[in-house]
Amino acid sequence: MSFIEMKNICKKYAGAEKNSVTDFNLNVEEKEFIAFVGPSGCGKSTTLRMIAGFEDITSGELKIGGKVMNETAPRDRGIAMVFQNYALYPHMTVEKNISYGLKNMKVPADEIKKKVDWAVKILGLEEYRKRKPKNLSGGQRQRVALGRAIVKNQKVFLMDEPLSNLDAKLRVSMRNEISKLHRELGSTTIYVTHDQVEAMTMADRIVIMKDGIVQQVGKPMELYERPVNKFVAGFIGSPQMNFYDVTVKGNTVMFADGSKINLPENIITRLNGKKDGLILGIRGEDIKLDSQNLDLYKDSIQHSVVENTEVMGNENNLYFTFGGVNTVARVSKYEISQVGDGIDFVFSPARIHFFDKETEESIF
Amino acid sequence: MKTKAKKISGWILTVFMLIMSLFFLFPVVWMLANSFKGDALITADMNSAAAFIPPALNGSFFDNYITIIKDTSFLRYMVNTLFYAAILIVLGIVVNGLAGYALAKIKFPFADKWLLIIMMLMIIPSETIITINFLTIAKLGLLNNIIGYVLPMIVNPFNIFLFRQVFVSLPDDVYEAAQLDYCSPIKYFFTMVLPMSKTVVATVSVFTFLGVWNDYLWPSLVFTSSDLLTAQIGLNSITSNDNTTMGQTLAVITMITIPVIIIYSLFSKQIVEGVVSTGSKEG
Ligand SMILES: Nc1ncnc2c1ncn2[C@@H]1O[C@H](COP(=O)(O)OP(=O)(O)O)[C@@H](O)[C@H]1O
Ligand SMILES: [Mg+2]
C-alpha cells in the first residue's frame, strides 16, 4: 500500500466541455518527492487542488495514508500547502503568519514558540520576525510560506509553482533550500511546476502531463533517456531534442533534404521493419563534432553552416539547419564555432531515438 | 524633475483651493467666534471684522455652553446618539459585511441576481419606506425602544455593495491557506477579511456614523421619551425655543458639528480611498 494512492481521478469543471484531468493514476510512497510537470493548462494545479481538497474530485478515488479522502475537508487531510502567490496573511507579522495554524490547533504557547524559533532559524528569517509581508522581498515571503507549512508537522506537502514569482538566481537557491528541507523533514512532497529543470533537479519521480493526461511517470533520468513519446522527449531536456522526419532504406536513414546517415544493423533491427512514417530524435549533446567521433563514424559525416550560437562557457549551443529543420548541437568549449563557420558532425548512433510519426509513441 | 509649467499650474491650483476653502471656512469661523458671545455683542460685532473674532477670554467666555449643558439635556442626547452610532456601526459591519462577503466569494444560486436586486434597492430613497417601517415597528410594540430604532437601520444596500466590491478582490488562496490553518469560515471573516479590508471598514463606519448623527426623521418618529432622543432632535427643540439666545444656538450648533469635523479630519483619507476603490477596482 502506498502512502498516497490516486485511482482514475478525473476532473470536469462545472460548465466545461471536457475533462481538465482524465484518469490520473499515481501511487506516491512515503517521503517521496514527486513533481508534476507539463505546459501551462495541462491540469497540474487542478490535480494538486483535488489532492488538497480545494476542488471536488469528479470521479476516481484518492487515498492518503490508506484512507479515502474524496469527501474529507482540506484541513483534515493532513496536508500543508505552499501557494504560488504565497497567500500570506497580510496583516500579520512573519511570526504570526507562521504560528497561526498552531494557535488554531491549540498547541501550547511554549511549544509554538519553540517551533517558530526553529522555523525562522532554518529559513533564515530571524531578522524579519516582526515584519509584515508587504515589507519583505519575494524570496523572504516564499520562506515565510514555507515556514507556515513546515511548523504544522503534516505528512504531506503540496506546492504549486512556489518559485515561479522569483528571479532566476533566487529560484536556483530556493530550489536547493526546498530540496534540503525535504531531506531534513522527510515529508511526502508533491511539487507542481511548468519548469522541467525544477522537476529534473528536485524530484525523486516526475509525473509529466499534457492536456489533463499523464504521459509518463518515472525517475528524472528515465524520462530523459527513455521518453515514451515525442512530447516527453521534447519537453524534458534543454535545449530541446531535435526531431526529423525520416525514412529508412536498408541501413540508411534518409532525411527530408536528402541527407543520409548509416546506422549499425543492431539499431536498424529495432525498428522491426518499419520504413517510413518515422521521426528521428536526437539530443543536442549527442550530435558530435570532436575528431574522435568524426573518425569513428566517418561514413555518416554531415555538413552545415552555423547560423547562431549561444556561448555560456560550460554550455555552448550551435544552431544550424540540417535535414530541413533547425538543429541545435551542444558542444564543449573546444568545439565552439563562429556564426558562418562550416561544421562537420555526426549523430551518435546509440543515442538516437525513433518515434512513430502518426502516434508519436516512442519506438526506442 | 517637475517642469516649470507644471510648477506654476500647481501653484495656481493651490491658491484656488485656498480661496475655496476660505469660502467654506468663513461660516464655521463665524459660528465658532459668535458662540462665545452674548447676543448684544453679536449684534454689535455683526457689521465688522470682529464678527469673526472670538471675545476676550474672561469669566463669561463659556457661558453659552454652560447654559446648554446645565439647562438642557443636549449632552445626554449627544451621548445617546454616539451610543446608537456605535451599535449600528458594529451591527452594520457584521450584517452588511457578511452579505457583501457572500455576494463576493460564495457560490450560491442566482448570486448575480441577488446582487442586482441589492443594487436596485440603493436607488430607493429611505423616506419612501419610512412610513411602512414606522407602522411595522409600531405594530411590534417597539416604539420608544432602542431595538425598534436600530432594527430597520442595520441593513444598508449601499454598504453591502461597498463591501462586496472590496471583498471580490481579496485573493482566494489566502482563504485556502487559512483553511489549512484550521481557521473556520466565520473566524476567517472576522480575523482575516475585515482586517485585510480596513479601508472599507473605516469608510462604512464613517458613513454609518454620519448617517446616524445627522438623521432627524427616523428617530423623531420612533422616540418620544426624552431619555432616548438624539442630538438632532435636541438641536431642533433648543433652537426653536423662544428663550434660547442666538449665542446659545450657535453654541449648540458648534457642539453638534464638532464630532463630524473630528471624524472627517481623522478619516478623510479612508473616506476618499474607500469611495475611489469601490469605483475603480474591477468587480
Ligand atoms: N476554476 C476553473 N473552472 C473552469 N476551468 C478551469 C478552472 N481552473 C482551471 N480550469 C481549466 O482546467 C485546465 C487545467 O488548468 P490548471 O490545472 O490550472 O493547469 P496548470 O496548473 O497545469 O497550468 C485548463 O484548461 C483550465 O482552463
Ligand atoms: Mg497551475
pLDDT grade for B275, boundaries at 50, 70 and 90: low
Which residues does chain A have within 8 Å of residue B176's beta carbon, measured at their own beta carbons?
52, 54, 74, 81, 83, 87
Q: Nine-digit cell at B79?
A: 451621548
Which 3 state secondary structure label does DSSP give A184? helix
The pocket around ligand 1, CB under 6 angstroms, is made up of A 13, 16, 20, 38, 40-46
Q: How far apart (Å, rounded) are the C-alpha atoms in residues B202 and A361?
A: 62
**pLDDT at position B274:** 63
End-to-end CA distance of chain B: 36
Instruction: Please report the pLDDT score of residue B234 as a whole number.
Output: 94
Q: What is the mean pLDDT of residues A308-320?
A: 92
What average pLDDT does the segment A57-80 reach? 96
Check: CATH 3.40.50.300 for A4-235?
yes
Query: Predicted confidence band at A290 (pLDDT cuts at 50, 70, 90)?
Result: very high
Taking 90 as the threshold, does the pLDDT of residue B269 lie above it? no
Range A139-153 average pLDDT: 94
CA R_g for chain A: 25
| Domain chopping of chain A, boundaries | 4-235, 242-356
Residue bearing cell 519548469: A195
Which member of A73, A80, A87 has the closest CB to residue B174? A87
Minimal CA–CA distance to B149: which of B260, B230, B235, B236?
A: B230
B179/A101 Cβ within 8 A: no
H or E element, residue A213: strand A213-218
Query: How many CB atoms are closer than 10 A to CB A304?
Result: 19
Contact at 8 Å (CB) between B148 and B142?
yes
**Pairing mode, if any, of strands A156-160 and A188-193?**
parallel
Q: Which of A90, A104, A148 sits opposite B182 (nearest CB)?
A: A104
Is A318 in contact with A306 (CB distance < 8 Å)?
yes
**Would you state the pLDDT for residue B282?**
36
Which of B108, B174, B180 would best serve as a mutation to test chain A binding (most A beta carbons within 10 A)? B180
Asked if B177 and A81 touch (Cβ cutoff 8 Å), the reply is yes
**How far apart are the C-alpha atoms of A120 and A117, rounded to whole Å?**
5
Q: In angstroms, what separates the C-alpha of A82 from chain B's closest C-alpha?
A: 8
Architecture of domain A242-356 in this structure: Beta Barrel (2.40)
Contacts of B198 in chain A (CB under 8 A): 91
| CATH of region B72-280 | 1.10.3720.10
Instruction: Measure CB to CB from residue A75 to each of B174, B179, B198 and give the nearest one.
Output: B179
Contact A89 B176 (CB under 8 A): no
Nearest CA in chain A to B177: A87
Q: Which residue of A has its CA nearest to B183?
A: A104
CATH 1.10.3720.10 intervals, chain B = 72-280
Tens of pLDDT along A185-235? 999 999 999 999 999 999 999 999 999 999 999 999 999 999 999 999 999
Q: Cβ separation of A89 and B178 shorter than 8 Å?
A: yes
Q: Please compute, for residue A294, the number of CA atoms within 13 A of its CA located in the half-sphere on the CB side.
A: 10
Sign of CA dihedral A176, A181, A184, A188: negative
Tell which phi-psi region holds residue B56, choosing left (phi > 0), alpha (psi between -120 and 50) or beta: beta
Per-residue 3-state assignment (H helix, E strand, C coil) for A248-314: EECCEEEECCCCEEECCHHHHHHHCCCCCCEEEEECHHHEECCHHHHHHCHHHCEEEECCEEEECCC
Cross-strand pairs, A30: none
To the nearest whole angstrom, how far is the Cα of B104 from the nearest Cα of chain A?
A: 18
pLDDT of A313 reads 86
- Cell numbers for A114: 519553540
